[in-house]
Structure 1
Amino acid sequence: MAQMTATAFPTTQGNGSFLSRFIEDRRAARARRAVYTQTVRELGALSDRDLADIGIGRSDIRRIAREAARVA
């Protein structure tokens, strides 16, 4: 005789469904990525002299972009 096991997964938890939370998380990640990309592009377009004037080394650009995306 075959036996069947049913597992229930909650569809709502807290203030929204799993799918709506997932979609919102993806939108937030996309927005953070856009901030990161824009920051890298804008700082990368500056000359070494301009970067030095504002106290940023070229090697710091990605770190600064990550920080900007994290707080966005």
Structure 2
Amino acid sequence: MFNFFTDGFKRWNRYNTTKRELDLLTDRELADLGIMRSDIPRIARDSVSR
């Protein structure tokens, strides 16, 4: 049961870290990466689902 909570926390932390780092990029930097600002939540979700 403890692993369930620690795994959930790790996934939540990875999601927030990914989202925060992408949010800090300018629109130009995101465009260079082929990412639209509206794609950020999906990309962050995808980073924890693997």
TM-score range, shorter chain: over 0.9
Q: Distance in 1 between matches of 2:12 and 2:48?
A: 7
How far apart are 1:69 and its partner, in Å? 1.2
Find the partner of 2:28 among 33, 49, 59.
Answer: 49
Q: How does 1:1-72 map to 2 (within 5 A)?
A: 22-71=1-50
Structure of larger gyration radius: 1
Relative to total residues, which structure has the larger strand share, 1 or 2? Answer: 1
Identity rate of aligned residues, in percent? 44
1:16 corresponding residue in structure 2 = none
How many residue pairs get matched? 50
SS state at 1:67 partner: helix
Moved over 2 A (4+): none
Q: Using CA pairs below 8 Å that are at least 6 residues apart, which structure has the higher relative contact order?
A: 2
How far apart are 1:35 and its partner, in Å? 0.4
Relative to total residues, which structure has the larger helix share, 1 or 2? Answer: 2
**TM-score relative to the length of structure 2:** 0.96
Runs of 5+ consecutive residues of structure 2 not aligned to the other structure: none
